[in-house]
Structure 1
Amino acid sequence: MSLSLPLPLGFQWSSVTAGIKASGKPDVALAVCEGGAAAAVMFTSNQLVAAPIHVGRRHMKATGGRVTGVLVNAGNANCATGLPGEEACQKSCIAVAEELGCVFDEIFPSSTGIIGVPLPVEKLIAAVPAAKAGLGETAEHATAFATAILTTDTRMKVAQETIELDGKAVSIFGCCKGAGMIGPQLVPHATMLVYLFTDLAACSEHLQAMLNTAVEDSFNCISVDGDTSTNDTVLLLASGKSGVEAALPHVPAFEAALGRVCQSLAHQVIDDGEGVTHLVNLEITSANNDTDAKQIAKTIANSPLCKTAWSSADPNWGRLLAAAGRAGVSFDPMKVTIQIAGLPVFAYGVRAAEYDEAMVHERMSAREYTIAIDLGQGDGKAHFLTCDLTHEYVSINADYST
């Protein structure tokens, strides 16, 4: 996907090669907002978190949600590296702050890659001057940033929106990385890294509220493998350069646009998941409540039995029922109906009378389809995007550290 809409005003991006990635590809990305941007962030809920998560939390608290620069390195997660890892992260932030002329607390760090390997911070720091010199505001610069953050991804993931408010354009640009270790459980206090840039004028608290809503309906409703990363981060920055304030009646339109950007990026993450050959939309309806519906969806989405069946387009609806039944949610199987790709497979306690195994198999051979489960209980519903589990996924992760 290429960038065709206007980029948000006030930001510059760049990337350089520091030699952290074994591939020799660009592995350091820098984003800058001169004068600082208001920020909101959500991090992983994993108890084991990487050094940049610890440092990022401290910096956001120290500045009250003010960010001048975002420094991302790929190829090394800087996780389970102890105090030296945090010190290395802090040193890299100081190096960027000195180049930009701001306080080091206004630098937001991120890392992605292998866990447990010391970060070669000297390489990272040595690359900072070139990253600063290469900053620019064009689509090529934003693309360079979005490309340098990738690890096992096979393609860049970007999304854009531009809306008109009071006769002025407000733009959103989002980019992310993530293909494996994707089962985000992000909390506002999610490997998948997401960076969202806008020129709306808003305070950190308001941005946080809007980000929470956008993330809950997008990144918190996807799974490749159910593994919550140690480094997951979603960061939203607002430069204010559009001159449009985040006030009624502007908020609903902006929230909708932000939601569309997050939905697009979340879909791209699953579509580029490690070894993925099928995308499965789980639509759970008529649950007792939304929480129950989402719990059933997540249980099915992360079931190895379901995911391996999807890899060969096997219409094994019994695995769907079994996964739902162990989700810890109360429902009556005699009230349940299931459709796969629009075709009935189960109804009210037994196989559907119209079930056509060959036809369902054919529909499941498509790249993307929907599994709809109606629980016949109440008004609760959930949408969840997941994928199959293939031999390629096993191969990628069996050899990841070697």
Structure 2
Amino acid sequence: MSDISSFLIPKGFRFGATKAGLKASGRADFSLIVADEPANAAAVFTANKVSAAPLAIDKENLRATGGKVRVVAINAGNANCAAGQAGLDAARETCAAAALVFGCKAEEVFPSSTGVIGVPLPVEKLIAVMPGLAHQIGADSDHFHQVAQAILTTDLVEKTAFARLERDGKEVRIAAVGKGSGMIHPQLVPHATMLVYVLTDAEIEPAALGGYLRGAIDVSFNRISVDGDTSTNDTVLLLASGAGGAKIAAGDAEFDEALRQVCTSLAKQIVADGEGVTHVAELRIDGAVSDADALKVAKAIAHSPLIKTAWAGCDPNWGRLMAAIGYSGAEIDPNQIDIWFGDLRICRDGGRAEELDEAAAHEYLKQSEFSISIQLHQGEGKCVFWTTDLTKEYVAINADYST
């Protein structure tokens, strides 16, 4: 969990959370991110063809405003997905209520939901607590922390990331807050549900924001997987308030790198808090024909129950890696594959390395985080991907999730 420092909270935003009665635990489950003035926005959403009602409304609203958002309204405990027309109506009613409370257009509201799929959203509960919450929001780190807590579902810890840089003598702040623990294999387009909200106080036009966001997610949120399931609600929203006074145009390398670092930090935090996770694996694939082929190999490994359960038992069964590489669909030569666990050579030229020390490999895999490097010797393609083991605890959590 990142440290929350008030001086890193971007200017021009206020935050808060309250209890609307959606979570069975009775914890805070409804939160707001409010821009003092309509913020420029860019967003990416799940590629799942079954997507939640708020996502449809978000897309409509962003088109209607040309990429402007004043209020982000987030509920946890109910995904508002697979609820038909009632789900769309609930999302629109949330927008209308926020517009009345904050004196903005309904199209400037960005609703988000996370939780159980297929259960009607009792939107009246959100509407009832919204006026009171509006009087409690604030711009300091404590209020930001409230949002980080309220959006969690099966997550065990809050997830935040921060960065800052200077542009023309003015400080630019970036802060991100997110949630995700299960149902994590984002496939965000264009190009547990994961919800991510990234804020900056720089002045950036929506078109430029979109370019920065797409570049950042391709090396972060589109490079993680806990269980291979793509959620119906995955959303990443990037807002620029302009309140810090610095102007950033498209192609700013320093801002681009800072945004990528923030998104990568948050993505890795989501993986580390995966449901039942005891090990996080960083997969480094090199020598593929293309980056796309490298990603095929990484995903085949990351989604293999055989491999993930071996990691849960710290079992250095590298033959399962070879099998996954073989069926990944990537162009390979089985006799040219090399594999390392950290610095330990495991496989050479497609076969067991003479120096393989199984006891040392077993000890290496006992670490909570470890790295596996695979060299395919086919080209210049590469990728880095983060994933997890698969444990009995994951099964227990998801066997009882809705009951």
Q: What is the TM-score with the length of structure 2 in the denominator?
A: 0.98
Q: CA deviation at 1:188?
A: 2.7
Q: Which moved more, 1:67-76 or 1:341-350?
A: 341-350
Match of 1:233 among 219, 227, 235: 235
Taking the aligned partners of 1:267 and 1:167, their CA distance within structure 2 comes to 32
On the 8 A contact 1:20/1:27 being kept in 2, the answer is yes
Taking the aligned partners of 1:80 and 1:358, their CA distance within structure 2 comes to 49
Equivalent residue of 2:208, what SS? helix
On the 8 A contact 2:312/2:389 being kept in 1, the answer is yes
On the 8 A contact 1:214/1:255 being kept in 2, the answer is yes
The one-character-per-residue Cα deviations of 1:72-120 (angstroms, maximum 9, x if unpaired) are 0000000000001110110011001100001100000000000000001
The one-character-per-residue Cα deviations of 1:203-229 (angstroms, maximum 9, x if unpaired) are 111000000000000000000001000
Structure-2 change in CA distance of 1:329 and 1:44 (3 Å): same
What residue in structure 2 maps to residue 94 of structure 1? 96
On the 8 A contact 2:38/2:68 being kept in 1, the answer is yes
Partner amino acid, structure 1, of 2:390:
L
Taking the aligned partners of 2:340 and 2:111, their CA distance within structure 1 comes to 45
What residue in structure 2 maps to residue 69 of structure 1? 71
What residue in structure 1 maps to residue 57 of structure 2? 55
The one-character-per-residue Cα deviations of 1:33-83 (angstroms, maximum 9, x if unpaired) are 122000000000000000101111111111111000000000000000000
Q: CA deviation at 1:240?
A: 0.6
Q: CA deviation at 1:349?
A: 2.5
Task: Confirm whether residue 331 of structure 1 aligns to residue 332 of structure 2.
Answer: yes
Q: Which runs of 4+ in 1 moved over 2 A?
A: none
Q: CA deviation at 1:190?
A: 10
On the 8 A contact 1:190/1:234 being kept in 2, the answer is no
Partner amino acid, structure 2, of 1:397:
N
Partner amino acid, structure 2, of 1:366:
Q
Q: CA deviation at 1:127?
A: 1.1
Structure-2 change in CA distance of 1:190 and 1:197 (3 Å): farther
What residue in structure 2 maps to residue 167 of structure 1? 169
The one-character-per-residue Cα deviations of 1:116-161 (angstroms, maximum 9, x if unpaired) are 0000111111011122111100000001011110000001100111
Equivalent residue of 1:200, what SS? coil
Match of 2:129 among 127, 130, 155: 127
Structure-2 change in CA distance of 1:68 and 1:329 (3 Å): same
The one-character-per-residue Cα deviations of 1:221-244 (angstroms, maximum 9, x if unpaired) are 000001000000000000011111
What residue in structure 1 maps to residue 374 of structure 2? 373
Partner amino acid, structure 2, of 1:327:
S
Q: CA deviation at 1:27?
A: 0.3
Taking the aligned partners of 2:376 and 2:192, their CA distance within structure 1 comes to 30
Q: CA deviation at 1:170?
A: 0.3
What residue in structure 1 maps to residue 37 of structure 2? 35
Taking the aligned partners of 1:66 and 1:240, their CA distance within structure 2 comes to 12
The one-character-per-residue Cα deviations of 1:254-276 (angstroms, maximum 9, x if unpaired) are 11111110010001000100000
What residue in structure 1 maps to residue 282 of structure 2? 281
Q: CA deviation at 1:176?
A: 0.2
Task: Confirm whether residue 15 of structure 1 aligns to residue 5 of structure 2.
Answer: no
Aligned residue runs from structure 1 range 138-149, under 5 A: 138-149=140-151
Q: CA deviation at 1:284?
A: 0.4
The one-character-per-residue Cα deviations of 1:169-223 (angstroms, maximum 9, x if unpaired) are 0000100000000000000399000000000101111000000000000000000
Query: Gaps (5+ residues) in structure 1?
Result: none
What residue in structure 2 maps to residue 396 of structure 1? 397
Taking the aligned partners of 1:60 and 1:167, their CA distance within structure 2 comes to 32
Taking the aligned partners of 1:98 and 1:226, their CA distance within structure 2 comes to 40
Structure-2 change in CA distance of 1:190 and 1:27 (3 Å): closer
Taking the aligned partners of 1:214 and 1:247, their CA distance within structure 2 comes to 16
On the 8 A contact 2:301/2:325 being kept in 1, the answer is yes
What residue in structure 2 maps to residue 362 of structure 1? 363
Give the superposed CA RMSD: 1.1
Taking the aligned partners of 1:379 and 1:359, their CA distance within structure 2 comes to 30
Partner amino acid, structure 2, of 1:129:
P
Q: CA deviation at 1:6?
A: 2.2
Equivalent pairs: percent with the same residue?
52
Task: Confirm whether residue 209 of structure 1 aligns to residue 211 of structure 2.
Answer: yes
Partner amino acid, structure 2, of 1:317:
W
Taking the aligned partners of 1:345 and 1:198, their CA distance within structure 2 comes to 44
Q: CA deviation at 1:248?
A: 7.1
Taking the aligned partners of 2:223 and 2:238, their CA distance within structure 1 comes to 19
Equivalent residue of 2:284, what SS? strand
What residue in structure 1 maps to residue 302 of structure 2? 301
What residue in structure 1 maps to residue 266 of structure 2? 265
Structure-2 change in CA distance of 1:257 and 1:77 (3 Å): same
Equivalent residue of 1:108, what SS? strand
Query: Gaps (5+ residues) in structure 2?
Result: none
Taking the aligned partners of 2:70 and 2:138, their CA distance within structure 1 comes to 15
Equivalent residue of 1:8, what SS? coil
On the 8 A contact 1:190/1:233 being kept in 2, the answer is no
Q: Which moved more, 1:298-307 or 1:185-194?
A: 185-194
Match of 2:199 among 197, 222, 233: 197
Partner amino acid, structure 2, of 1:302:
H
Q: CA deviation at 1:246?
A: 1.1
On the 8 A contact 2:182/2:192 being kept in 1, the answer is no
The one-character-per-residue Cα deviations of 1:340-359 (angstroms, maximum 9, x if unpaired) are 12211111121000011000
On the 8 A contact 1:336/1:373 being kept in 2, the answer is yes
Taking the aligned partners of 2:343 and 2:112, their CA distance within structure 1 comes to 42
